[in-house]
Amino acid sequence: MAGETVITVVGNLTSDPELRYTQNGLAVANFTIASTPRNFDRATSEWKDGESLFLRASVWREFAEHVAGSLTKGTRVIATGRLKQRSYETKEGEKRTSMELEIDEIGPSLKYATAQLTRAQSSSSPRGGGAPAVAGNDEPWAASAPAANTGGDVWNTPGNFSDETPF
């Protein structure tokens, strides 16, 4: 991520995430986050809304399916990702530029709500790769092997874990 602009946005989804699939079967969810600053006006003793920022966002692969199945219109979210600039030309030949957020992490804000989490079943590693986190992966955080009664949950696996930093 060197040289990329990473930002965190807190706001509300303006609609349900739109889940689509590319021709290669890759899932992508697109949605807009509206972030509106609020300031207290001491002269009127009232809260005033500032100008809203509407930021298009996208998330890919299995992550997209999780987002589409978990977040809905109006949900207050905290999202972190890389700001991307995209240039394009309209049908009339006008050149345009848009800013979009390619999401790295997103979740519901718990400031005004509660959430019930359900761990998704996945064959992906915690770092987003394609291999399960088991011994032989050359990852310092990989478990020896998931115990049969843990359902493959490496964080719930009994074993010999060192408190020593792996680096």
Instruction: Tell me the per-residue pLDDT of 92-138, one tens digit each, with 9 for 90 and over.
Output: 999 999 999 999 999 999 998 888 888 887 655 454 444 333 333 34
Q: Is the pTM of this model over 0.85?
A: no
Cα separation values, 37 from 9, 52, 140, Å? 11, 7, 42
In a domain, 60, yes or no: yes
State the chain's mean pLDDT as an integer: 80
In a domain, 122, yes or no: no
Is residue 33 a contact partner of residue 8, using CB atoms and an 8 Å limit? no
The residues near 133 (Cβ < 8 Å, ≥ 6 apart) are 125, 126, 139, 141, 142, 143, 154
User: Could you tell me the CATH number of the domain that includes residue 51?
Assistant: 2.40.50.140
Q: Where are the beta strands (DSSP E) in the chain?
A: 5-13, 18-21, 27-35, 38-41, 46-49, 53-60, 76-89, 95-108
Instruction: Tell me the mean pLDDT in the region 41-47.
Output: 93
Among the listed residues 128, 98, 81, 101, the one whose alpha carbon sits nearest the alpha carbon of residue 31: 101
In a domain, 142, yes or no: no
Q: Please state the domain count of the chain.
A: 1
Residue 7 in this model has a pLDDT that exceeds 50: yes
* Range of the structural domain that residue 57 is part of: 6-108
